[in-house]
Amino acid sequence: MILRKTFIIILTTIFLTGCWDRLELTEIGMVVAMAIDIDSETGEYILTSQYLRPATESTLSPSGDNPTVLVSVNGKTISDLMRKANQEIDRKGFYAHNKMVIVSEDVAKAGLIPVLETFQRRQEVRGYVWLAVAKNVKAKDILSVEGNSISRIPAQFLYSLFSNAEYNAVTSNLLQYYKQVLKKGENPVTGVVKMEEEKEVPHDVVNLVGGAAFQKDKLVGFLNEREARGYNWLKAKGPHFERGALYLTSLLEEEKLVTVLIKDVKSNITPIVKGPSEISFRIDVKQVAEITGQQSTKKMEKKLTLADYLKKVEKLAENEVKDQVQAVIAKAQKEYKSDIFGLGNTLKRKEPETWSKVENNWPQTFQEVECTVNVEVDLLNSGLIQGTLDPSE
């Protein structure tokens, strides 16, 4: 009896469970980047997948082929296209190590949810995949561009571009996009990749600058470098976010500049409700910075002068940051009419009663809400040089 029970337990543990989808490494085709375009004539989607050729990466005897293969298929749905691609390449598509999803402007304008929904449903493409809109160029072309790439694999190049991004570019992955697009009172912003034809280097250059603002899941416009910076500061959640260098006029000499490196940024949005229709927001941005460059060579006589000077630079930086944050708020309110900062969401969390009143009308309400921006810049130090370097004879 016990023997029979044991036998049944062993059989069930082995036959009713387990990972039956056994695939050898030589059977899978690792997809490292995907690009989605729309065929302007037929309206069909074009899915371009970048497959890896592992043999080219061999340390013993690398084959001289191109390390990647691009496969393009077109059809009505993305889910169908992922299967269809298997018919055009000798490996089974394997999407778990995908790094990038790039969509063209047209796809983004038509709405991204129909495109990205299948990724979340089947979990074949992970949430931690960078999502970007290709500006002024076919998404497909981004994948084949050589760029200033040290890595042999274009997807790896793009991935590193996103990982190293500084505060003048928005980076967002699929998971963040899903969150923002599904949340009430917030609209998503994603990264933007652009291709620039360079005259000096013999190949095209891809760069990551600015951001793409969405309304619901549809693209409404782009943020430029300055606006992306403001957006990043406004959304900064904690220390070590969104570093970058910011230059200001030197104050010591005409036409000379002083550069501060923004180290830690933290921002806080507080809704202020005075009456049923009097909603305003206070946005506090706290930054820690340090001076990393001073073009001026004017000698500072006293330590006190230096302290005063640093105070002045702090003030200057505060104004500059405030300008940039206000600029992006104005653009979102007036031009894109899209709450990309999640102000509505903050209201929902902190003042749920007020939110329930304005909820249905939020897109209109957002355009009129008043936002006061308070910026506090804390200059931590001036590097290893106290004042200025004073060239002498």
Q: What residues make contact with other proteins under the rule CB under 8 A?
A: 13-14, 17-19, 21-26, 28, 30, 32, 52, 54-60, 62, 94, 96-97, 99, 126
Q: Which is nearer to other proteins, 51 or 336 (CB)?
A: 51
- For residue 147, the minimal CB distance to other proteins (Å) is 19
124 by Cβ neighbours in 10 Å (0-12 / 13-18 / 19+) ranks as: middle
Residue 232 in contact with residue 276, Cβ under 8 Å? no
Q: How many CB atoms lie within 10 A of CB 308?
A: 12
Q: CA–CA separation, 188 vs 126, rounded Å? A: 18
- For residue 325, the minimal CB distance to other proteins (Å) is 37
Q: CA–CA separation, 5 vs 279, rounded Å? A: 68
| Separation in Å, CA 10 to CA 4, 7, 15, 16 | 10, 5, 9, 10
- For residue 193, the minimal CB distance to other proteins (Å) is 20
- For residue 94, the minimal CB distance to other proteins (Å) is 6
Q: Which is nearer to other proteins, 98 or 333 (CB)?
A: 98
Q: Which is nearer to other proteins, 60 or 304 (CB)?
A: 60
Q: Which is nearer to other proteins, 52 or 134 (CB)?
A: 52
36: which residues sit within 8 A by CB, 6+ positions away? 45, 46, 47, 48, 78, 101, 102, 103, 104, 107, 115, 139
Q: Which two tokens stand for residue 298?
A: 């004017």
- For residue 129, the minimal CB distance to other proteins (Å) is 12
Q: Which is nearer to other proteins, 122 or 299 (CB)?
A: 122
- For residue 1, the minimal CB distance to other proteins (Å) is 19
SS3 label, residue 241: coil
- For residue 91, the minimal CB distance to other proteins (Å) is 10
Q: Give the closest residue to 233 by CA, choosing from 225, 241, 245.
A: 241
- For residue 153, the minimal CB distance to other proteins (Å) is 8
Q: Which is nearer to other proteins, 128 or 372 (CB)?
A: 128
Q: CA–CA separation, 286 vs 140, rounded Å? A: 40
Amino acid of residue 350: K
Q: Which is nearer to other proteins, 57 or 390 (CB)?
A: 57
Q: Which is nearer to other proteins, 40 or 59 (CB)?
A: 59
Q: CA–CA separation, 331 vs 146, rounded Å? A: 34
| Separation in Å, CA 301 to CA 118, 304, 387 | 66, 8, 9
